[in-house]
Amino acid sequence: VQSSGGNVTGKFGHPYGYGFLHEDINNSGDGGIYAELIQNRAFQYSPEFSVSTAHYFPINGASLSIQFLDEPLSKALPASMRVAASSNSSGKIGFKNEGYWGMAVSQQKYIGSFWVKGAYNGSFTASMQSNLTDEVFGSVEVKSKAIADEWTEHAFEIVPEKDAPNSNNTFSVTFDPASAQNGALAFNLISLFPPTYKGRKNGLRVDIAEALADMNPHFLRFPGGNMLEGLTNDTYWDWKDTLGPLKDRPGFQGVWGYQQTHGLGLMEYLEWAEDMNLQIVLAVWAGLALDGGVTPQEDLQPFIDDALNEIEFVCGPADSTWGSRRAELGHPEPFELNYVEIGNEDWLAGYPEGWDSYRQYRFQMFFDAIKAEYPDMQVIAAAATSDPAPEGETTGPNLEEGLDFSKTSGAIGDYHPYREPDELVDEFDRFDNDIGHIVGEVAATHVNGATPPRWDGPLYIYPWWIGAVGEAISLIGYERNSDRIPGAFYAPVLKNVNKFQWPITLIQFSADPNMTTRAVTWYCWSLFAHHPISDTLPTVSNSSYGPLYWGAGKDDPRNALVWKGAVYNTTNSSDVPVSVHFQGVTPGTKASLTVLTNTVGDPYAYNDPFTGVNIVNSTTREVTAGVAGAFEFSLPELSVAVLDTDPA
């Protein structure tokens, strides 16, 4: 007989949640969910990534070069692009931008702008055209406002007359150099946006945002992940650099191999959460960087103050110092903020000094300061009670002993299992006797038996079916401990198929929205997220867990009883008979039963964005409780299922 306890999940003020971590990896932000179409729009750079005219191409022999003017567009954007006629030019000259591996063009309104310095008495032509045939899909004349020695912004709209047949397109700006002072102009902050999710200015790409929203997520954790930490202590993700007009955002030295724009800044993350009705887990910088840099205790206070300011920016009243800055930026109402995490995976950054400092004083200093101002805030430590050992070490951190939670009462940990499917099945009872955690990053990332070192070996490039089922079992295990586990977060969530840094993500995409693909895992997360529970229920069974794993709950707002299960049998392909009896359910009670399987019978099958074939089969049927009040059905091998008595 197996049993699990009944828990009120309401401890955290909302039902158990499914969500995701977002950080800019795989061009998931710039060139991804951030809808900007122009790549290298403001010639941003950092110690790691040099400034260049990359992604721009001359038109009609124009000479394109980077310059640092004495009076740049802004302090944040010191570089600009000089566009000049050359001996090869005749007539109008200019530049085209190739976007992030192309740009889709369809008959909708695009909103654009660019800044120019230098006198120009004429008009610009802004257009979108095929990179293959030069066919122009949409074009607009923009009357010049440019005057000598000043930067002037030019705004325009383009509504293409036809859809482009593919995304191999460019955006261009041309002008007549004969009417420009010295035959040249300086350009900066060249921007072009399609319509965005919920119509936000500087907002999210619609198809990607909708794919995320359709999952019915509950949580957004940001800004990382590694991105929060930064490569060095001088280059962490400083939220203040991400606020306000784009011309005041210097950009960020990304930690995943490319310069970032800072276009997707703190406000944009908050609006994203608001627009999808997501609870936020805000990660604040803890003074530890990926290169092992450790901000010592005596220098830490300014960063603790900075974290408090950031929290105030998010949820402080509009008349507070940072709340008023938020109000100035158009959002006087505080955003809801219940979760703050101190750092990210800080048992790894700078091990062992970083982790020792985290245990000895770092976490507690942040914790005490936050709790003093926000007593109800759920503060989260950036480690778990049993994380794996860092490379070359034999033991991982032990949060309970190592962090002495008695001094930070009420804090919970963060656990990041990137595992093989078998290991995720073993996670089922991981939290039955543990302190609270978020499962802040989880995914099946390696096939069973992958040869160590696993990250250097062959990797699946997309989530695959047996991984999704293993993951589903771990999710049921986390959810049945939801009195201590507020939720689980898929990570990382998005991948541009042209930028491969992390193989396994929930959604794949390219410039072409037709390619946006929900991975097999998306369907399992979505199924569970669409059947929330407010309380877990105690369960008993006359069979042990495996190959069937399950959990049960009720959802008070919907007056529903919910059973979630998955079958993980790799050696025996027989269907598993299931009989679910909820106490008090009478014969004749109806429920819906949704079962996910894979259509090709291959445990390693995945949804390939290049074929567009969805291998997940989802069936929903009505089941009726029999004479004993039990719902009887059977589940095939490697399946994921939800039974829910709510007819909706």
Where does this chain bind ligand AHR (CB under 6 A)?
23, 25, 224-226, 344-345, 416, 441, 491-492, 502
Minimum distance from residue 154 beta carbon to ligand AHR (Å): 38
C-beta separation of 6 from 536 below 8 A:
yes
If the CB atoms of residues 188 and 344 are measured against ligand AHR, the closer one turns out to be: 344
Closest distance between ligand AHR and the C-beta of residue 416, in Å?
A: 6
Least distance from ligand AHR to the Cβ atom of residue 512, Å: 25
Task: Please provide the DSSP assignment of 454-478 as one string.
Answer: GGGS---SS-BHHHHHHHHHHHHHH
CB of 114 or CB of 236, closer to ligand AHR? 236
Rounded CA-CA distance 174/192 in Å is 15
Minimum CB separation of residue 232 from ligand AHR in Å reads 16
Nearer to ligand AHR, 200 or 262 (CB): 262
Structure tokens at 269: 């993350």
Which is closer to ligand AHR, CB of 144 or CB of 344? 344
Task: Please state, in angstroms and rounded to a whole number, the distance separating the CA atoms of residues 268 and 270.
Answer: 5
Taking the C-alpha atoms of residue 260 and residue 614, their distance in angstroms, rounded to an integer, is 32
Reported as half-sphere exposure (CB side, CA atoms, 13 A), residue 192 has a value of 29
* Rounded Cα distance, 34 and 205, in Å: 6
What span, in angstroms and rounded, lies between the C-alpha atoms of 147 and 116?
9
Smallest gap from Cβ 454 to ligand AHR, in A, equals 13
Q: Which is nearer to ligand AHR, 244 or 503 (CB)?
A: 503
Nearer to ligand AHR by Cβ, of 21 and 595: the residue is 21
Q: Looking at beta carbons, which residue is closest to ligand AHR? A: 225
Contact yes or no for 356/362 (Cβ under 8 A): no
- For 408, other C-beta atoms within 10 Å of its C-beta total 18
Of 101 and 490, nearer to ligand AHR (C-beta) is: 490
**Rounded least distance, CB 231 to ligand AHR, Å:** 12
Collapsed DSSP state (helix, strand, coil) of residue 262 = coil
User: Is the bond leading into 72 cis (omega within 30 degrees of zero)?
Assistant: no
Nearer to ligand AHR, 104 or 412 (CB): 412
For 379, 408, 458, the CA distances from 405, given in Å and listed in that order, are: 12, 5, 39
359 backbone dihedrals φ, ψ, rounded to 5°: -70, -40
Q: In what helix (H) or strand (E) does residue 354 lie, and over which residues does it extend?
A: helix 353-357
Taking the C-alpha atoms of residue 64 and residue 85, their distance in angstroms, rounded to an integer, is 9
Residues in contact with 439: Cβ distance below 8 Å, sequence separation at least 6, in sequence order: 414, 415, 416, 417, 474, 478, 485, 487, 488, 489
Of residues 25 and 485, the one with the C-beta less far from ligand AHR: 25
Q: Would you say 22 or 430 has its CB closer to ligand AHR?
A: 22
Alpha-carbon distance of 494 to 491, in angstroms, equals 8
Nearer to ligand AHR, 270 or 491 (CB): 491
Q: Tell me how far the alpha carbon of residue 214 is from its chain's centroid.
A: 15
State in angstroms the smallest separation of the CB of 108 from ligand AHR: 33
Task: Provide the greatest CA pair distance for the chain.
Answer: 91
Question: Least separation, in Å, of the C-beta of 227 and ligand AHR?
Answer: 6
633 to each of 285, 370, 524, 623, how far by Cα in Å?
A: 50, 50, 19, 8
Structure tokens at 294: 């450790």
* Peptide linkage before 453 cis (omega within 30 of 0): yes
Which of 112, 81, 77, 47 is CA-nearest to residue 246?
77
Least Å distance between CB 288 and ligand AHR? 12
With respect to ligand AHR, which residue has the nearer C-beta, 99 or 492?
492
- Measured from the CB of residue 635, what is the shortest distance to ligand AHR in angstroms? 31
- The CB-of-382 to ligand AHR minimum distance in angstroms stands at 9
We find the least distance from the C-beta atom of residue 229 to ligand AHR, in angstroms, to be 8
